[in-house]
Amino acid sequence: MGDRTLLAQGREAEIYLQSDGTVLKLWREPAYAWRLDREVAALNALASTTVAVPTVLSTVVKDGRPGLVTDRIDGVDLLTKLGRQPLSVLKAGRTLGVAHAEMHEIVAPPQLPDLNDDLRTRICQAAPLPEDLRASALGVLDGLPRGDQLCHGDFHLGNLMGTWSDPVIIDWGDACRGDPVADVARTYLLQKLGDAPPGAPGLIRVLAPAGRDVLAARYLSTYRSRHHIERTRLDAWQLVRAAARLSDPVPSEHPRLIRLLRTRLNS
C-alpha cells in the first residue's frame, strides 16, 4: 500500500508498518468500527498503569475501513517465539498467567460493554449451536456473576509481543467489563481446544496436541497462584465461552466445541 509494509494479517485485520515507524492496524470491513472503539478505550485506560500495551497515536479511516495508529512494539509475538523455542512451553505458560493476572487488577473503563451481555448476543447469534445447547448455555450464563474488571476477550500467546519477562499485550478489539474468571475461561479453552491462529509457525501446529495441555496447566496454575478461582465457576464459564466461540468464524473448531457442550451439559 505505497508507504506501508504489511507486517501481519489475521481473520479481521491487517497490520502495516508505516514510513514514519508507526504501526497501522486496519480492519478489513467498515462494520468492525466497534472493535476500534473497544481497543482505543482499553488502551487509553491502560496507558497510566503498569500493564504494557501499545500507545494510541490516532484513529483513521482508509477506503472506508477503520484503522488505529500506534507506536511499534519490537520483537515477535510470543506464539512465534514459542515456535522457535518449543522447550520454553512452561515459561510461556507462566508468562501468560502472570500477564493475565496483572491485567485483571484493572477496573474497566465505563465505555466498554458488559461481558455478560456481549456473550449473550454471541450465543444467540451462533448459527452452528444446536437449540437445546443454546438454551442450556444461556441458562448457565444467567446464573453467573457480572463484574467490572478489564477483560481482554482473546488473550493468548499470539496477542503478546516482546519477551517472556516483559510482554506487551495487543489486540484489544474484544475488550469488555466483566468477571475475570470469564476471561480466564476463554484463554484456558483456547489452549485446550482452539486451533492455532492464521500465520502460526508450522512447529506450533505440529506440536499443539502434545504441548497444549502442558501450556494450559502452567497458565492456570500461575494465574491461580495470584487470584483465587473456584473450579465450579471456571467450569461454568467454560461452557458459556464454548457456546459463544461457535459464533466465531473458525469452523474447524465447531465439532470439538459441540462435543464439549454435549458432554458437560448432559452429565
Whether residues 64 and 101 fall in one domain: no
- Kindly indicate the confidence band of residue 219, based on its pLDDT and cuts at 50, 70 and 90: very high
Whether residues 103 and 234 fall in one domain: yes
Q: What is the CATH number of the domain that holds 36?
A: 3.30.200.20
pLDDT of residue 213: 87
Q: What is the CATH number of the domain that holds 233?
A: 3.90.1200.10
Other C-beta atoms lying within 10 Å of the C-beta of residue 131: 7
pLDDT of residue 67: 97
Compute the distance between CA of residue 96 and CA of residue 104 in angstroms, rounded to an integer.
Answer: 12
- Grid coordinates representing 102 are 496483572
Q: What is the 3-state secondary structure (H, E, C) of the chain?
A: CCCEEEEEECCCEEEEEECCCCEEEEECCHHHHHHHHHHHHHHHHHCCCCCCCCCEEEEEEECCEEEEEECCCCCCEHHHHHHHCHHHHHHHHHHHHHHHHHHCCCECCCCCCEHHHHHHHHHHHCCCCCHHHHHHHHHHHHCCCCCCEEECCCCCHHHEEECCCCEEECCCCCCEEECHHHHHHHHHHHHHHCCCCCCCCHHHHHHHHHHHHHHHHHHHHHHHCCCCCCHHHHHHHHHHHHHHHCCCCCHHHHHHHHHHHHHHHCC
Higher pLDDT, 83 or 203: 83
Place of cell 505440529: 206
pLDDT value at 205 more than 80: no
Whether residues 111 and 55 fall in one domain: no
pLDDT of residue 204: 56
Whether residues 60 and 164 fall in one domain: no
Whether residues 45 and 111 fall in one domain: no
Whether residues 43 and 147 fall in one domain: no
pLDDT of residue 129: 97
pLDDT value at 196 more than 70: no
What's the pTM value of the predicted model, to 2 decimals? Answer: 0.92
Structural domain range at position 197: 78-265
pLDDT value at 1 more than 70: no
Whether residues 98 and 169 fall in one domain: yes
Provide, rounded to the nearest whole percent, the portion of the chain with pLDDT above 90: 81
Compute the distance between CA of residue 213 and CA of residue 57 in angstroms, rounded to an integer.
Answer: 38
> What is the number of structural domains in the chain?
2
pLDDT value at 206 more than 60: no
Whether residues 140 and 179 fall in one domain: yes
